[in-house]
Amino acid sequence: MKIVHFVLSESFAGIEQHVDEVLTNFSSHKLILICNESIASYFDKSINIYKVKNFGRRSFFGKYKLKKLIKDIDPDIIHTHGSKTSSIISSIKTKNYKHVATIHGVKKNKKIYEKSRLNYWS
């Protein structure tokens, strides 16, 4: 199974450390990371990383490039971390992958996570 993890943070902190640990410890699947180019160097060197420039939730060009990249990767599952990446993936969803969203931290508004194609845990 091909699983893409998607984080779009500008700094390497809690979410990113968690993703790094997941990607280095679950090797029974083909794991890929799409992340902001400014934090890519902090992840374990054995991880297959696609670097993207940071972009906002409403960036047409950023979402267009991401959708093209996802089409090229052709994952079975996209696992987003945080509300920004969950919102972006929900807005460009295609029919050939499942979307899992992980909430990091306490969120009052969980609507964006409810749009993911699989259930979420809080």
| Residues paired with 48 in a beta bridge | 32
Q: Which residue ranges make up each domain of the chain?
A: 2-114
Global pTM value: 0.84
- pLDDT tens digit string along 39-97? 999 998 889 999 999 999 999 999 999 999 999 999 999 999 988 999 999 999 777 89
**CATH number of the domain located at residue range(s) 2-114 in this protein:** 3.40.50.2000
61 vs 73: CA distance, rounded Å: 18
| Lowest mean pLDDT, pick from 23-27, 30-34, 74-78 | 23-27
